[in-house]
Amino acid sequence: MSTQIRNIAIIAHVDHGKTTMVDQLLRQSGTFADHEKVVDTVMDNNAIERERGITILAKNCAVSWEGTHINVIDTPGHADFGGEVERALSMVDGVVLLIDAQEGPMPQTRFVTKKALALGLKPIVVVNKVDKPGADPDKVINAAFDLFDKLGATDEQLDFPVVYASGINGWSSLEEGVPGEQWGKDMSALFNTILKHVPSHEGDASEPLQLQISAIDFSTFVGRIGVGRVNSGTVRPGMDVLVMEGPDGKQTKGRINQVLTFEGLDRVQVKEARPGDIVLINGIDEIGIGVTVTDVNDPRPLPMLKVDEPTLTMNFCVNTSPLAGREGKFVTSRQIWDRLQKELQANMALRVKETNEDGIFEVSGRGELHLTILLENMRREGYELAVSKPRVVFREIDGVLCEPIELVTADIEEGHQGGVMQALGERKGELVNMEPDGRGRVRLEYRIPARGLIGFTNEFLNLTRGSGLIANIFDGYEEHRGEIGSRKNGVLISMDDGEIFTYALGKLDDRGRMFVKAGDPVYEGMIVGIHSRDNDLVVNATRTKQLTNFRVSGKEDAIKITPPIELTLEYGVEFIEDDELVEITPKSIRLRKRHLKEHERKRASRESAV
């Protein structure tokens, strides 16, 4: 039975077409009935994933091809969700590496490939989007070979099969065809390559049970659900098992309630599952990521799963602004702490600890996106909180202070090259490679401290007029590179509580760009805009026009107001400085000073200068 199972993960850089490819595999394997209406990127079923067009959580599905059951795991492309990729790779026997035929290998391609090669997995390279104008499959294959070689691939891994494909049009081919034409009829070339090159899992069904949990799900009906691959033995409903946290960790007895496997996008109850099957089990409350579910009489635990440590940390604290509690259902420190503890159960790459101050928790993750997605989920669930500026996690190595370094790839138009290089240089970036593509664009590769990338995304979009692409990946720890300049502009701070009036906005228009509009509530210490100069300025944002009996001849000047900057969660987190906070509620994002009163801010400034 095990020879009829293949377990694969689809890995790639963000936007290289993983989820669209999985759509085609599901469609062409007959998973959906002819009359069934199916949305695009059906695997991205989370609301935020659909809004942003990215994959955040690794998802499982299964397809059948020529009598073989193929379990497919769709993984995220962002390095911030590397914990999801690492878990997914622990369940599979082969990977399909997608590379965009025009962009070639990108930073996250390097990241996911490194993880797969280290686990001894043999990749199938799929050159996707070969029908794009500017596609260069030969160049991409050579770049993939060089990348594998740099990452220490074995001779066997370097001898990878290549499939050419167009995921969106639903065809694949083993032969390179004519540009502008369709090279294959359907996805059969990819299916057959998977069957030929991905080994079936080797495990004995008569051995004691060994099942490592790689993901956690939750159902209101059955509680916690563990997802993992059966390494050896047979798992059945009603079976008594031992849950072990590694060879030397905690042991708990439990009984499995149901065993389910994947069929298409559905979960199907089965009477037993054997080696190679990816299963879902429920009935055990103590189940967690990385534990081994094993035989009671002959336990064989596996080492706990390891993921890379976080590189960025933020303080999550109770919302103490004068507008607190108006919109959120969950506002206390206990509720925020409980929510973070719940997140830890499924989010392997996250770390949470209490601080010396009441109601402030230190939350560490892989990057800004990793942490802001958690914040976005919390605000949608009804939580209110405030967060500080992200800080990098420093380490002391051999007595030397070291900081995380990121490998950055920027794909830009040649006309924007000077501005981008200057901005990265100011942030202590070091140019590693520069490669023009001969079509008016250039690719820059930099190694830069992670500190230097905080707040850089918006600046980059402005410098490239929205036409640039940028991606970054953690590249290791190096000696601290010294001070990096902070935000160039000061902020406009409200001096009073009240409501914004159009008259006040008109008077402040030449002072800078505003974050607020007429009718918005404000309070003392709230940041209402960006100052046009480098210092902070306290302003009267609630000022109204004084009405008198005097009239003047002629029309009064019409008030002209520049539209406000739209304040998003990501923008706010990138924008703030150390003495500022982002106030997050279910309906609003506001910026504020940590100390709301001006005299408190002055005192804190004097104390920090000592």
Average pLDDT over all residues of the chain: 86
From CA 284, how far away is CA 252, in angstroms rounded?
Answer: 9
From CA 321, how far away is CA 211, in angstroms rounded?
Answer: 48
Handedness of CA 18, 21, 23, 25 (dihedral sign): negative
Burial letters 463-487, b for 16+ CB under 10 A, else e: bbeeebebbbbbbebeeebeeeeee
Q: Is the pLDDT of residue 97 over 80?
A: yes
Question: Is 409 within 8 Å of 400 (Cβ atoms)?
Answer: no
Q: Is the pLDDT of residue 184 over 90?
A: no
From CA 437, how far away is CA 441, in angstroms rounded?
Answer: 6
Q: Where residue 83 falls among pLDDT bands split at 50, 70, 90?
A: low
pLDDT of residue 183: 85
Q: Is the pLDDT of residue 39 over 60?
A: no
pLDDT tens track for 570-587? 899 989 999 999 999 999
Task: Say what percent of the chain tops pLDDT 70.
Answer: 91
> Has 18 been labeled as part of a binding site?
yes
> Has 259 been labeled as part of a binding site?
no
Which pair of structure tokens corresponds to residue 21?
A: 């490819």
Ordered alpha helix ranges (H), 186-322: 188-197
pLDDT tens track for 408-440? 888 899 999 999 999 999 999 999 999 887 778
Report which of residues 20 and 431 the model is more confident about: 431
From CA 72, how far away is CA 145, in angstroms rounded?
Answer: 24
Mean pLDDT of 19-36: 73
Mean pLDDT of 107-112: 79
Q: Count CB atoms within 10 A of the CB of residue 524.
A: 18
Q: Is the pLDDT of residue 248 over 90?
A: no
Mean pLDDT of 512-533: 93
Q: How far is CA 72 from CA 7, 12, 17, 538, in A?
A: 6, 14, 15, 56
From CA 24, how far away is CA 12, in angstroms rounded?
Answer: 16
Mean pLDDT of 543-568: 70
pLDDT of residue 95: 93
pLDDT tens track for 452-497? 988 888 888 889 988 888 888 888 899 999 888 778 889 999 999 9
Mean pLDDT of 219-245: 89
Please report the DSSP string for 318-336 in residue order.
---STTTTSS-SB-SHHHH
Mean pLDDT of 194-209: 89
Question: Is 58 within 8 Å of 72 (Cβ atoms)?
Answer: no
Q: Is the pLDDT of residue 36 over 70?
A: no
Mean pLDDT of 333-348: 89
> Has 20 been labeled as part of a binding site?
yes
Report which of residues 32 and 116 the model is more confident about: 116
* 134 Cβ contact list (under 8 Å, min separation 6): 102, 437, 439
Q: Where residue 448 falls among pLDDT bands split at 50, 70, 90?
A: very high
> Has 560 been labeled as part of a binding site?
no
Question: Is 427 within 8 Å of 408 (Cβ atoms)?
Answer: no
Q: Is the pLDDT of residue 280 over 70?
A: yes
Mean pLDDT of 82-90: 76
Q: Is the pLDDT of residue 37 over 60?
A: no
Q: Count CB atoms within 10 A of the CB of residue 161.
A: 14
Q: Which domains does the chain have, with CATH numbers?
A: 2-197 (3.40.50.300), 210-295 (2.40.30.10), 395-479 (3.30.70.240), 491-609 (2.40.50.250)
> Has 130 been labeled as part of a binding site?
yes
Q: How far is CA 525 from CA 388, 492, 515, 601, in A?
A: 15, 9, 14, 9
Q: Count CB atoms within 10 A of the CB of residue 418.
A: 10
Mean pLDDT of 317-345: 92
Q: Is the pLDDT of residue 259 over 90?
A: yes
pLDDT of residue 484: 86
Q: Is the pLDDT of residue 144 over 70?
A: yes
From CA 399, how far away is CA 396, in angstroms rounded?
Answer: 6
Mean pLDDT of 280-295: 88
Mean pLDDT of 141-164: 93
In terms of Cα–Cα distance, which of 262, 241, 268, 260 is closest to 252?
A: 241
Q: Is the pLDDT of residue 2 over 50?
A: no
From CA 305, how far away is CA 91, in angstroms rounded?
Answer: 11
Angle between helices 456-463 and 417-426 (to 10 degrees): 160
H or E stretch covering 527: strand 526-531
pLDDT of residue 193: 95
Please report the DSSP string for 20-54 in residue order.
HHHHHHHHHTT-S-TT----SSTT--SHHHHHHT-
Which of 21-35, 447-461, 482-496, 507-521 shows the lowest per-residue confidence on average (mean pLDDT)?
21-35
Report phi then psi at 419, rounded to 5.
Answer: -65, -40
Mean pLDDT of 125-150: 91
> Has 297 been labeled as part of a binding site?
no
pLDDT of residue 54: 61
